[in-house]
Amino acid sequence: MPITLLWAVDVYGRVYSLSTAGQRWVRADDMLLELKRVTAGKERCWGIGCDHHIYLNIMPSETSIRYREETYENQRWNPVDGFTDVLLPTDRWPWSDVTGMNPQPLNSFQLPSRSWEWEGDWYVDQSCGEPGQTGGWEYAVDFPANFSPDKKWNSCVRRRRWIRYRRYTAQGTWAKIPLDNPRKPPLPLCDISCGGWEMSDQSGRYPYLWGVTQQGQVWFREGIHPRVPEGTSWEEVEVPKEVAQLSAGPGDLLWALLWDGNLLVRTGLSLDSPTGTSWLEVDSPSKEVEALHVAVGVNVVWVVTKDYKVWFRRGVNSHNPCGSGWISIGGEMMMVDVGLNDQVWAVGEDRGVYFRMGVTQSEPSGNGWIPVSAQWGSNKDLIPPRDECEISGQLTEASQGSALSGTDSDSELGPTNSEHSATPILEAAAPSIVPLGGTESSAPPQELKEASSNPQQDAPKAFIPASDSFINSLVSDRDRTSTMQPSITEMLQEESVEQPPAPLLPTLPTRGHDVPFMNVDLEGAEAARGAQTAGRLLNDVLGSLENSQGIGEEDGPVWTWVSGGGCDVDANSHISWLSPTGPLSSSLSLTPVQSAAWSEQPQQQEHQEITRKPLERSNSVWVRKGALRWWRDWKPQRWVDVGVALEQSTRLDGRKDSIFFVYYTQYDEKKHLQVFINEVTALVPVLQDCNYTFAVYTAERTKQRWPLVLAAPSEKEMNDWLELLSECCCKCRGIAGAPSTQALWSITSKGDIMVHEPSLSLEASAHAMACDLMFWRQIPGHLRCIESNSLGLVWGIGWDGTAWVYSGSFGQHTSQVNHEMNLQTDVRSIHVYENQRWNPMTGYTDKGLPTDRPMWSDETGLMECTKGNTHPPSPQWSWVSEWAVDFSVPGGTDKEGWQYAADFPTTFHGHKTMKDFVRRRRWTRRCKITVRGPWKMVPPIHLSDISLMPCLAQSKMEHVPVWALNDKGDVLCRLGVSPQNPAGSSWLHVGTDQPFKSISIGGANQVWAITRDGAVFYRGSVSPQNPAGECWYHIPSPPRQNLRQLSVGRTSVFAVDESSNLWYRQGLTPSYPQGSAWELISNNVSKVSVGPLDQVWIIADRVPGFPTEPPGAVCHRMGVGPMQPKGLSWDYGIGGGWEHISVRGNSAEPLRVPHLPPSGPPRSPALQHPATQVNGSAVCV
């Protein structure tokens, strides 16, 4: 690791540097140098002097800084004198630049400052042509033209270049940059900030310098270059309000602090526009307290408010320079600075330098402050954190205001232990910092008692000057009343005995708060030094300037400014003066779960007063970044490479708040999307372009039917992001462990299993929970359909007909479920259709009419699908067979697998007639998926449908009735199913005279089924004693309609026909369970599920108003009740791409409230087609 420097300034204006390879602070060689503040970058450091000049210190290097000055000598030929410097009036200057527009005689070149010297005299550049033969001349026909070293008969003009080098001689020293060099010098500057060096390809070679004048103007230093380190001129940048301080990051971030305490953010910073384009205002972190200081890094922003609280800005990125919110960070600091690698340095309220420990890319907020404990002077003592009062006697008023107390070697409290001076500072919520270092030294009891006799509330408020003059503040006469101030050790003892709340250290007065930023606290520092001199020498309180400087040299600096922009350290660096000796030494880099765990560790201290003080936890921020692809929301829709980041903050009470960011670039403009994790309603893997794709749903995006679709480069990365996002969503909503027995289960078209934990308001008749606000989380596994009930029984069927039963726990911790993961496989067939049309010349051929479907298509004929471009449903699937003709097509085929029809699209049949002009045949190929999930296989029969009897959660049943259909349409009844044995023991065959395709069992053992030809049957006499029943009763179907699926609740029956219409069976009573008539409820329905409370949920084919959305949306029937079993309207929720839903486990009854008719139109009205039917005869209205 290269050797870099940490820069700091004390209250006397002295500049110090601390090397990463050294162990002591080193003062600048120039003893007369007085700076107010510094800003460091890579290999350089800028400073503002007390004379308002700008100073620059370039790090010494083996390569010297040389700049080449050049000018061109121009001549024209005339017949009398030949080539001469007498030019035409329209020609360029005799001595000019390369363009000829600006005159540049040799004597016009001057050194920009005293830091440069000429290396030699001017000489002619001989690089053109043969050296020494042409004299360096280049010839051309006229100005301007292409010059060449060859002289021709028509060469009327010539030029040659003169060169002179100058060298920068001030490397390693502080050099003054003259302000009279620019044409328009800025007013005296009060703040500067160096940054922007990471925007170029060559890191560190092209920094930018920003400045703020005392009048609140912002200036930008132009022309900074590796060969011109000082820059060339100043350019003013317009600001809407007066600026007090600013900070520039290594990248394209620039924040400014206003005099009113708010902040400005500069946008549009780039290499082409280094000064940016516009300003955006950001409010202070606290409405009551204004901001005092701001510091910017690559992707972080830190702010200190006037009460010395430290704040961290969330979501800051070059795509989102304003960020998204503030997080309070422990510790009380006067200023902070963000250095390389986003490491944070600070000057505490005790005027000590601190380092933020544990700052990494994944945890940019860090997890604790530790003091910078470097050696000072010629001895081996470390500079201790200034946490205890040096003398138990009197302190001046200024020392109280600036908290300039320190521990000296001859202090009455005892010597400072270097081992404890580096102990990390616990971040407390109280306004005062209570360090752990130096607590082994205690004052005599008499002194403690004497000091405690003075009430703390009698201490006068501090005086902090606003003057920038160093000399005036030192030599000015001050006669201020000194006041007793108890030490921190005394306050801790008083706290443990008499005052439970932590005592507050003296803070700045009200008038000090009126100034959002002050330069150097000179009077307060001198007052503190005068008090220390009086306590030790019993002499004159205020000495000469030499005495003051001597005291500062002896006692160590009292810091007022620090800059780590050039200090290359990170959380894993092993720096001697950054090595904590406390319990944090092995916890520099923590996981998001452990981000605040260090503060919970017991601290072993010898003082009982400190051990009784509770340990405070600090807020922390954890970030996970990555690169994905995003399906762009607007046209033309295409995949875009984006950067993503998940930012999670942990609050003091343990709550977690997360934001998901998507960063993209549009027309060279950086933009971003952000999704609050507590607003995410589902994370669903989707099928799109055979990518590892998943969709992020929110309530607003569900209404718009446009989720955030992202694709990962690999399956592992997609699963990692899904797991991470899902975990954050569950933590934000307080969901942990396995699903509850009341959960709603659903299946996507991809086969993923989703679960929703219902609330009591989900089925409330009034003020029911909106369907688009439901949160769905994924359960490992893969199924085609699923059924559940309130006793914790969940059955599912795969695409290959295999039956699976849920073997996981309910309502327990996730770690207990992981041990129950089983291997689960599923196989499905992918179909494509080969289409042909007959013509008189060639017979059947693949040359169709222009209006025909593609000759290779899907079943609908709307999408072209060939055997070559058809892939498995997702990358998780793999082919297990080759393409083959499928002869098991409904309707039959001929011996070659063809089906015939008169035209597209009509009903196909398996034999050719004279009127059949088109034909098709289906090709099939099998694919397989293997996953792990909490599912146990139920062998050996393959099923096509399954149904569990719904019941209330408090029901007591020895055996739960389970009815199913096998792949041949036979009816089966599962015996021995119970919560203790969810898989049951054996199958019982129920006799039928024709195959069935749908079956459902409701309350009171009502069994309804649909045959493959659409007829409806009711099974009679089913009871616990006779689980298979006795006989089938035929129920008339709706006229001219064939039913395909039904669901039976406690007292209601709903069915879906082949035309996607939803029907309700009227007249169901205990004495006449077959009902009396069918009533049409709605169309646009694919599947229906009726729960134990007769609640109705469906999978809708489409959502009205969104024709391009994929089919399959979850919908809830609103207004269902005992007096209105059919409900009133539909509430559309998440979709599309949903295949199945089961609400038969949700028996949580809402509170009974009077039902009020809804006001206004329904949330998502469905197409209503009311119809009535009497005794099986439907009359459509």
Tens-place pLDDT, residues 594-626? 333 333 333 333 333 323 323 334 677 888 999
Pairing of strands 44-49, 54-58: antiparallel
Q: Which candidate, 149, 144, 146, 145, places its Cα nearest to that of 128?
A: 149
Residue with tokens 């089961």: 1142
How far is it, in rounded angstroms, from Cα 135 to Cα 137? 5
Q: Which residues contact 46 (CB under 8 A, 6 or more apart)?
A: 38, 39, 40, 54, 55, 56, 57, 192, 194, 209
Residue with tokens 């507590």: 678
Residue with tokens 């910073």: 269
1098 versus 490: which is more confidently predicted? 1098
How far is it, in rounded angstroms, from Cα 147 to Cα 1128? 88
**pLDDT one-digit tens code per residue, 652-672:** 777 788 899 999 998 888 899
Six-digit token string for 182: 């620019």
What pLDDT band is residue 130 in, cutting at 50, 70 and 90? low
Range 1159-1181 burial, b when 16+ CB lie within 10 A, else e: eeeebbebeeeeeebeeeebeee
pTM: 0.72
Radius of gyration from C-alpha coordinates of the chain = 41
How far is it, in rounded angstroms, from Cα 863 to Cα 853? 8
How far is it, in rounded angstroms, from Cα 744 to Cα 148? 84
Average pLDDT value for residue range 41-64: 89
How far is it, in rounded angstroms, from Cα 1037 to Cα 1176? 7
Q: In a 10 Å sphere around its CB, with 0-12 CB exposed, 13-18 middle and 19+ buried, how is residue 654 labelled?
A: exposed
Range 403-441 burial, b when 16+ CB lie within 10 A, else e: bbbbbbeebebeebbbebbbbbbbbbeebbbbbbbbbeb
Instruction: Name residue 913's beta-bridge partners.
Output: none
Q: What is the pLDDT of residue 602?
A: 37
Is the sign of the CA dihedral 722, 724, 728, 733 positive or negative? positive
Average pLDDT, the chain: 79
- Type and span of the H or E element at 346: strand 344-348
Instruction: Name residue 235's beta-bridge partners.
Output: 220
How far is it, in rounded angstroms, from Cα 228 to Cα 65? 8
Residue type present at position 136: G
Residue with tokens 């559940």: 788
What pLDDT band is residue 899 in, cutting at 50, 70 and 90? very high
Q: Contact 694/710 with Cβ under 8 angstroms? A: yes
The DSSP secondary structure of 932-996, one letter per residue, reads EESEEEE-S--EEEEEE----TT---SS--EEEEETT--EEEEES--SSSTT-SEEEEE--SS-E
Q: Contact 22/567 with Cβ under 8 angstroms? A: no
- Tell which phi-psi region holds residue 1160, choosing left (phi > 0), alpha (psi between -120 and 50) or beta: left
Q: What is the pLDDT of residue 190?
A: 92
Instruction: Name residue 785's beta-bridge partners.
Output: 797
Six-digit token string for 23: 């162990």
Q: Which residues contact 517 (CB under 8 A, 6 or more apart)?
A: 191, 244, 245, 257, 292, 293
What pLDDT band is residue 374 in, cutting at 50, 70 and 90? confident
How far is it, in rounded angstroms, from Cα 1032 to Cα 2? 87
What pLDDT band is residue 1064 in, cutting at 50, 70 and 90? very high
Six-digit token string for 648: 């999670």
Q: What is the pLDDT of residue 279?
A: 95
Q: What is the pLDDT of residue 621?
A: 84
* Adjacency order of strands within the sheet including 1077-1082: 1043-1048, 1053-1057, 1062-1066, 1077-1082
Secondary structure class of 370 (helix, strand, coil): strand
**pLDDT one-digit tens code per residue, 574-595:** 888 887 653 333 333 333 333 3
Q: Contact 750/761 with Cβ under 8 angstroms? A: no
Q: What is the pLDDT of residue 575?
A: 87
Query: Is the pLDDT reported for residue 73 higher than 60?
Result: yes
How far is it, in rounded angstroms, from Cα 573 to Cα 202? 24
How far is it, in rounded angstroms, from Cα 419 to Cα 416? 9
Q: What is the pLDDT of residue 1048?
A: 95
Pairing of strands 843-845, 822-839: antiparallel
Q: Which candidate, 802, 746, 11, places its Cα nearest to that of 347?
A: 11
Q: HEC profile for 1013-1036?
A: CCCEEEEECCCCCCCCCCEEEEEC
Query: Is the pLDDT reported for residue 465 higher than 90?
Result: no
Q: What is the pLDDT of residue 463?
A: 37
Residue type present at position 793: L
Q: HEC profile for 649-710?
A: EECCCCCEEEEEEEEEEECCEEEEEEEEHHHEEEEEEECCCCCEEEEEEEHHHHHHCCCEEE
